[in-house]
Structure 1
Amino acid sequence: MGKGRFIVEMAKKYPDRNFIGLEMQTVATGIALKKQIEATLPNLQLVCANGAGLTEYFEKDEVAGVYLNFSDPWPKTRHEKRRLTYKSFLKQYQDVMVADGHLEFKTDNRGLFEYSLASMNNYGMVFDQVWLDLHATDAVIDNVMTEYEEKFSSKGQPIYKLEAHF
């Protein structure tokens, strides 16, 4: 969840939905917690943990959707298994998500985006929508930005986004 801008804004925008932010960096989790407390959001919980243990935190069919925003691209081939769109992560998302659940992925990194498209396709996911430059479309009207997204899009970098399901 990074520093929490996205998850806090989503919890504000959709007060009838519960959100759980997962982040392994304690400093980033602390910054997000401060935002959550200031906004008084009872529909948002934060967990400081590694996403590799998702099935330890959630039961089968417990999660309606997963948002992957500006994840570390792990560009070296030997680090492929650390990418949040690697097949072992996709399996965990599928294990905890409801049958009609959705996954949204945003990044500024073209290489990671291309890898993710291939990985999800090879896993058998169905793409609902793919954007090669989100901020050049009307879809940006409903978009909730992350800190990184604002930084990169303000510099004119394209933001890549996809929505998919299993």
Structure 2
Amino acid sequence: MRLRKKPGVQNKLQEMRELVIPNPEVNKGNWHAVFGNTNPLHVELGTGKGTFITTLAGINPEINYLGVEKVPDILYIAAKKAIAQCLPNLRFLHMDVENLPFIFEDGEVDRIYLNFSDPWPKKRHSKRRLTHRHFLEIYKKVLKRPGEIHLKTDNQGFFEFSLNEFSEMGFRLRNITFDLHNSGFSGNVMTEYEERFVNLGQPIYRCEAIVLPE
């Protein structure tokens, strides 16, 4: 179901400037100052309605979180959740993933989360997938050494494509599962999409890709 656009949502996001960071490029290389500490920085690309990242921020106060979302109406929902929970270690960015190198210095990010990204199932659209090697080059640039990408999806084709791209681009893979909720993996935090798919009995695919020192 398509999300109904809320009138004036851009203005509402601007009013949340302490939480939804305006002009984030001015913080490049200095995100620790935004949070007022030197804790690790974890970034979720495509944060959706915010259930995943607000849960993580609540249970891990020693980690700083940034949620990246390009759809303003969805970002507004996530931001309201964060406000309700009073999470000092969470901020949001209204931007496209392509702009990451303008926002983060090389090696500034400790971990990236990719949760249920658009699989773009048609082969001619493969370059739009957030695990295409074009995007992996961007992630490798902003990630520390070693740095991590944690991927979850309900789409087997996208998952297999991602595993191949990670391998081709020199990432080391670990904790690969084709059925997360029957794998015995502990510490999983579910997203809104994940809850829906699990209730439908669909398997969830997950892996971790590590970028190693050169």
TM-score by length of 2: 0.76
1:2-13 superposed matches below 5 A: 2-13=48-59
Matched, 1:111 2:157: yes
Greater percentage in helix = 1
Letter in 1 for 2:177: W
2-structure distance, mates of 1:15, 1:147? 22
Provide the residue aligned with 2:87 in structure 1. Answer: 41
Provide the residue aligned with 1:165 in structure 2. Answer: 210
Letter in 2 for 1:148: Y
Residue number among 103, 114, 119 corresponding to 1:57 in the alignment: 103
Residue number among 73, 91, 94 corresponding to 2:140 in the alignment: 94
- Runs of 4+ that moved beyond 3 A: none
Deviation, 1:80, is 1.1
Q: Which has the larger radius of gyration?
A: 2
TM-score by length of 1: 0.97
Q: Which has the higher contact order (CA 8 A, sep 6+)?
A: 1
What are the superposed Cα offsets for residues 93-120 of structure 1, whole Å, 9 maximum, x if unpaired?
Answer: 1100110111100000011001101111
Provide the residue aligned with 1:148 in structure 2. Answer: 193
- How many residue pairs get aligned? The number is 165
Provide the residue aligned with 2:72 in structure 1. Answer: 26
Give percent identity, aligned residues only.
45
Q: CA RMSD in A?
A: 0.8
Unmatched runs of 5 consecutive residues or more in structure 2: 1-46
